[in-house]
Structures are given as C-alpha cells and as structure tokens.
Amino acid sequence: MFIYITKRLLWVIPTILTVLLLLFSLSYLLPGDPADIILGPRATPEMAAELESRLGLDNPWYQSYLIYLQNIIKGDLGTSIFRDRSVLKVILDVLPYTVILTLAGMGLAVFNGISIGLLAANYNNSYFEKFLTMLSFITASTPTYIAGVLLIVVFSVNFNLLPSIGIGDGGLLDSIHHLIGPALALSVGWTGYIARLTRSSMLETLDQEFIQTEKSFGIPRYYILYKYALKKAIKPIIAVIGLGIGRLLGGAVFVEVIFNRPGLGRLIVDSVNERDLPLVRGGVLVAALLFVVANLIADISYAYFDPRIKQK
C-alpha cells in the first residue's frame, strides 16, 4: 500500500511540470491582443507595450519559461493584469468559496443519494423501486446549469424563498441561506449516481451469506439494513467521493456563473474572457492541482477498498 501511494505521488511531479509548460505556452497560443480586448479603443501603443512586458512576451520563450518556473517555486504566480493584485491573492481570496460550495454539494449528494439508494434497496423489485431508479437516472441526467436555472426560476423568482445571487452579507445564517441553491444545483448530478451505487452495493451485501444468516435468526429487518448492511455497503461510496469532489469542482464553474458567486470557476471563466493571462494560468494551475489531489485520493481509496488494485 505504501509503495503504491509513493509511486502515485512521484508520478504526479512530471505531470504537474508538463501542466506548467502547457499553461506557460498559453501566452503564445491564446488569440487576440489583450491590450485591445480590455482597453478597447482607448489603448495607447505605450500601454500595449507595458502589457507585453508584464506578460513576458518581450523575452525569448525559453527564458520566459525559466523565469515563470522560478517564480512559481517562489510562490509568485504573477500579478493579475486587470485587477492590480497578485494572482495568488486573488485566487486565495475566492478559493474558500469554491471549496465550501464543493463540499456542501458533495455533502448533499451523499446524503440524498444514500437515502434514495437505501429506499430503493429496501423496496427492491417494486414499482416504488423503479420510480426511485428512474428518479436517480433523471437527476444524474440533469446538468448543473439546468438545475441551477430551474432552482432560480422556482425558488427565487416564483416563491422568493432563496436568494438568486451572491454570498450574503457574511453572517453565518445568511451565508448558509445563499449556499442552499448553489449547493443543491451542484449536488443533483451526483445524487443520482450515488443513489444507484448505494442500491447496487446494498443489494450485493444483502445477498451475502452473513446477512442471510442474521435474517434466519429473526433480527429485525431495519436493524439488519442499517446496522450491518449499510456499514459494508458504504465502502465503495466513500471510495468514489474523492472522484466526485474532483468532478464537482468542474460543475462549480457553472454554478458560480449562474448564481453570481465568487469562486475559482468563475474566476477562470472571467479571466479567459478577459485574456488576463497570469490569472488564467494561476487559476487553471490551482484547479488542476486540486483536481489531481482529488483524483489521487480517489485512486488511493480505491486501492484501499479494492484489494485487487493493491497487488498490481
């Protein structure tokens, strides 16, 4: 196990270096002149030149890449062109919101998914189970942005129960209130997935011998379901949570845009639109790092729960 983890960790280093090279090359690949896009007709040639030197476009590329790497090692991601702040600070400012959103979304997905899955397993082969299965397929087929838009239409516009935008005034209750809609929108897709996983895992466990034995001893059904079966069945669910967090990170892009929340996803979308290169690089780098870590956790938890991989 230890060797497996070490190997996986070492493998990450060249990956990240290549990611950095790709991000660096963005300045040569992205079409459009940042000065024109942002400054519009008001740009002077001098401003364009200053911008170029800030983007490192006035040096040969290998030199610029080395400088870029050096700076990153020092923890300096550059300065955002259009925000007059360091990229690292801009990202650190918004990152907590994305993390909280993702965790809340995952929490909701796990809670709702397991509930639906348990019900479905409990009423296996009934029409109710078919309904629940269909429900989990439908939720799994609802993209985040559709869920978000529908939530806004129903709860913000029609019933005025949930706020449609922003993060609130900073108070705990208000923050949670502003988090409900976005987290729910984010959770919808994974709710269905976890529900299906829970159901099949539960059915598998219930089939196993020791449960059958318990049954024959006359232990109450719900007791078996929750005390024994769920304990076993939950392992594969825990194993996919790492994976899910990575995926929800991507879904957060839409949620943050629709609900007008600060966050890494919206930051990347904005900076790509504005061609704020240092910010695009920094934002995508941080997103990639988070994603790699989430995947790593997912892989390791697989290995932990699925002995077959350990041997490989």
Partner 1 sequence: MLKNKYIYLLIITVLCLGLLTNPAAAQDDSLNIAIPGRAQTLDPAYLQRVLSDWPVMNSIFNGLVKYKPGTFEVVPDLAEEWEISEDNTEITFQLKKGIQFHKGYGEFTAEDVKFSFERIIAEDANSPEAQSFINLERVEVINQYTVKLILTQPMGRLFTSTLPFNAGLIVSKKAVEEMGREKFASNPIGTGPYVFEEWDVNNNITLKRNDDYFEVGAEYGEIVFMPMSDPTSQELALQSGEIDIGQLTLDNFDQISQMEEFEAEIYPDLAIQYVAFNTSKEPLNNKKLREALRYIINPEEILIGAFAGKAERANSILLEDMTGYWQAPDFKLEDVGEDYVWNLLAEAGYPEGEGLELEYVTDANEERRLIGALIQDQLSRFNIDLNIEALEVGPKIDRWQDGSYDITYARFTNTVDPGYNFQWNLSEQLGKWNLFHWSNKEYDNLWQEAETTLDSNLRAENYKKMQQLMNDDSIGIWVTHGVKTPAWITEIEPVFSPDGVILPWLISNSEE
Partner 2 sequence: MFKSQKFFRFQKKSARVIKIMKKDYKAYLGGSVIMLILISAIFAPLIAPADPYKTNVTKRLEGPSLQNLLGTDSLGRDILSRLIYAARPAVLVSFGGIIISVIIGIILGLLAAYVGGILESIILFIFDVIRAFPPIILILVLLSIIGPSLLSVIVILGVTIMPRYGRVVRAETLSEKEEDFVEAARSLGADNSRIIFKHILPNIFASVLVLSGMDMASMIMWEAGLSFLGLGLQPPLSSWGVMLQESYQYIQTAPLMILWPALAIMLTMLGFSTFAESLRVALNPKLNQEV
Binding site for partner 1 (CB under 8 A): 30-34, 36-44, 46-47, 50, 82-85, 93-94, 97, 152, 156-157, 160-167, 173-174, 176-177, 180, 260-262, 270, 273, 275
199 binds, among partner 1, partner 2, none (CB under 5 to 8 A by kind): none
Q: How far is the CB of 52 from partner 1 (least distance, A)?
A: 12
38 binds, among partner 1, partner 2, none (CB under 5 to 8 A by kind): partner 1
236 binds, among partner 2, partner 1, none (CB under 5 to 8 A by kind): partner 2
How many CA atoms does the CB half-sphere of 163 hold within 13 Å? Answer: 15
Rounded CA Rg of the chain: 24
Residue numbers at the binding site for partner 2 (CB under 8 A): 11, 14-16, 18-19, 22, 26, 29-31, 130, 133, 137-138, 140-146, 149-150, 152-153, 157, 193, 196, 236, 239-240, 243, 246-247, 249-251, 253-254, 257, 265, 268-269, 272-273, 280, 284, 287-288, 291-292, 295, 302, 306
295 binds, among partner 1, partner 2, none (CB under 5 to 8 A by kind): partner 2
Residue 95: how many CB atoms within 10 A of its CB?
18
Which one, 25 or 44, has the nearer CB to partner 2? Answer: 25
120, 132 contact by CB (below 8 A): yes
Q: How far is the CB of 143 from partner 1 (least distance, A)?
A: 18
Contacts of 258 (CB under 8 A, 6+ apart): 145, 148, 149, 152, 185
Structure tokens at 287: 């997103």
Q: Which among 204, 294, 289 has a CA at the least distance from the CA of 241? A: 294
Q: How far is the CB of 169 from partner 2 (least distance, A)?
A: 26
Structure tokens at 42: 């008001």
Which one, 38 or 99, has the nearer CB to partner 1? Answer: 38
209 binds, among partner 2, partner 1, none (CB under 5 to 8 A by kind): none
Contacts of 119 (CB under 8 A, 6+ apart): 128, 132
Which one, 166 or 250, has the nearer CB to partner 1? Answer: 166
165 binds, among partner 2, partner 1, none (CB under 5 to 8 A by kind): partner 1
At residue 188's C-alpha, the angle toward residues 185 and 194, to 5°, is: 150
Q: Provide the 3-class DSSP secondary structure of residue 160.
A: coil
Cross-strand bridge partners of residue 86: 79
Place of tokens 């159901």: 199
Place of tokens 């790492």: 242
